[in-house]
Structure 1
Amino acid sequence: MSSLEFEGVSVRYGKLTAVDGVNLTVPSGQVVGLVGESGSGKSTLAKAAVGLAPVSAGRVLLDGVDVRRLPRRRPLQMVFQDPYSSLDPRMAIGESITEAMPRGTARGARRAEVARLLELVHLDPDRAGMLPGQLSGGQRQRVALARALAGQPEVLIADEITSALDVSVQGAVLNLVRDVQRRLALSMLFISHNLAVVRYVSDVVAVMYLGRIVEAGPAEQVLTDPRHPYTRDLLASAPSAHRSLLADTDDPLADTEPADPHHPPAGCRYHPRCPIGPLVHTDRTLCTEADPADDAAHRPHRAACHFAA
């Protein structure tokens, strides 16, 4: 087992800062659920970990070693959102899985390992010769998981892996991911915009908004006693099973659009949408002047909110 740590990580594309000074740890053998709206920077953070996005500042560490110094086949693998585009349509699924294996594996051992991995993700090994186009979306995502496991990872990143699937198969894939993670004792960063999904699989929950982590802590604590208003708003928009966790679900600012990420607001980035901020409580000018992220470590759940307590 290994731990994955983001240490002050920023990712910039020109004038846009997609990820801004993120500090987050995926402890050894645990699942960290990263949640937030589309455009919050979740997938960009994941891509930075596997070398698909440029790290402009900070470091991504695997057991204390900068991932940029690791060999090409690093013990860190990623399963992508779209199972239809993540597999080569001209390559048999067995070949796709074999391609991810460490070099030097004998042919017979490769064949046996493909069969083992397909069984691990609940697919018939006889499907190894099939093309991706002959499989359903759920089956393709199982193949994508098997291919990631073929790289013998100690840390797995799952980026919205159920969002492109039919509702009828999402639960089966989630059960599979949770089972594989526990059986192989993997550390995992599980990314989703669905709080119900995150709650089901995660030990720790981190909430991301406009490129920053605004709240993080043990999953049950964050989801039953959220300290940041953004987390509460996410819970308010989740399925009805979560609504009872909130004191107020009639927030008139809930439909306000997020700020322009090219020009994030001064102070607290959430204050233009915040139901406890200066638009509602005019005396709370602190929210527009001081960045609550500066002393978030001293608040419950490291909440980036001046009034988290």
Structure 2
Amino acid sequence: MSELRFENVTVRYGTGRRALRAVDGVSLTVPPGQVVGLVGESGSGKSTLARAAVGLAPLASGRVLLGGQDVVHRARGGGHRPLQMVFQDPYASLDPRMRVGDSVAEAIPRTGPSDGAGRRAEVARLFDLVGLDAGHALSRPAELSGGQRQRVALARALAGRPSVVVADEITSALDVSVQGTVLNLVRDLQRRMHLGMLFISHNLAVVRYVSDVVAVMYLGRIVECGPAHDVLADPQHPYTRELLAAAPQRDGSAWADTGQGEGAVTEVDPPDPHHVPAGCRFHPRCPVGPLVRPDRAECLTLDPTPGSAGRVHGAACHFAADRLPPPGTAR
């Protein structure tokens, strides 16, 4: 098993005044055998970070390490491909002219079965692993349903024998009736195969269901990160609280606020990512920020990110709770 680690990763699109930092100085770790759920609204930089992990988005600065080795320079060879990605649209990620069994067989490493019979048997095993009948191997993508195509995409990713899988919004293009089945499959495969996984979604209810760790992304930065239960039970960043308030609970109700909600500033349009606000990036929408509470003027000019390591869940908020010192340490 390998650890996937992002170290101060920045991805920039464009140049000059219209340059956009889609990902801005992100550091994040996906521990071996655990699921890190990355959540945020559209345009927050989640998919760009995923593409950076597999080399599809060039880094402006920083590193992406897998098992301590830079993924850009990691020797591929003919063995297993330790980092695989499953894309949002399974139809776009599969060659429409190829039978899906051939698409999966194409991803089997050269160190795997070399003869036709052996590769067909491996494809059948992978199809069984993701809950597909082996007979579907002769079908083309257009002949399958969306849920079946996403299972094929999962089988193709698993064919590379990865230790870490990046799953980018893999249920958002599916019917609601199919999403739960695919999520159950993903969670089961991850536990049985002890995979590390970066699971990306804009839906906090989905992330809650599959994740061990939750990271919240806003305008290119991680604004809160910690064990899933802790973050969801005691969110420290106002943006996390807003995401939780928008996510329905199992009983159909909304998350119970802690009494900190004071305004409806979050109803305004998100800032232009080409012109990121000074100070705290969330302050133009923050219901407990300076537009509601004038005494919190520091949010207008001071970036809370540099001090986030000293706050609970590493929250990028000036008013998040301080992290407690280790036992026995003088305060």
Report TM bin, short chain.
over 0.9
Structure 1, gaps ≥5 residues long: none
Match for residue 100 of structure 1 among 92, 107, 113? 107
SS in 2 for 1:189: strand
State the identity %: 69
Please say if 1:246 is aligned against 2:257: yes
Per the alignment, residue 51 of structure 1 pairs with: 55
* Aligned-pair Cα RMSD in Å: 1.2
Q: What is the aligned partner in structure 2 of residue 82 from structure 1?
A: 89
Deviations along 1:195-253, one digit per CA (max 9) or x if unpaired, are 11101000000000000000000001101110000000111111254623323567411
Alpha-carbon distance between aligned partners in 2 of 1:32 and 1:240, rounded to the nearest angstrom: 20
Q: Identify the range of structure 1 (241-250 vs 105-114) with the bigger mean alpha-carbon deviation.
A: 241-250
For residues 198 and 244 of structure 1, the distance between their equivalents in structure 2, rounded to whole angstroms, comes to 15
Gap runs ≥5 in structure 2: 322-331
Identify the residue that residue 270 of structure 1 maps to in structure 2.
Answer: 282
| Count of residues in correspondence between the two structures | 309
Cα distance in 1 for partners of 2:249, 2:129 equals: 34
Q: Which residue of 1 aligns with 2:66?
A: 62
Conservation of the 8 A alpha-carbon contact between 1:224 and 1:245: no
Residue 2 of structure 1: aligned partner? 2
Please name the residue that 1:11 is paired with: 11
Residue in structure 2 matched with residue 308 of structure 1 by the alignment: 320
- 1:282 & 1:24 partners in 2: Cα distance? 33
2:162 to 148, 153, 165: 153
Query: Is the aligned partner of 1:124 residue 2:133?
Result: yes
Distance in 2 (alpha carbons) for counterparts of 1:55 and 1:74: 21
Distance in 1, Cα, partners of 2:319 & 2:138: 58
CA contact (8 A) 2:87 2:167 kept: yes
2:144 aligns with 135
Q: Give the alignment's TM-score, normalised by structure 1.
A: 0.97
Other-structure match for 1:112: 121
| Equivalent residues of 1:19, 1:45 under 8 A apart | yes
Q: Which amino acid aligns with 2:312?
A: P
2:82, 2:182 → 1: CA distance? 23
TM-score (norm 2): 0.91
Does the 8 Å CA contact 2:247/2:255 hold for their aligned counterparts? no
Which residue does 1:259 correspond to in 2? 271
User: Does the CA contact (< 8 Å) of 2:262 and 2:288 recur in 1?
Assistant: no
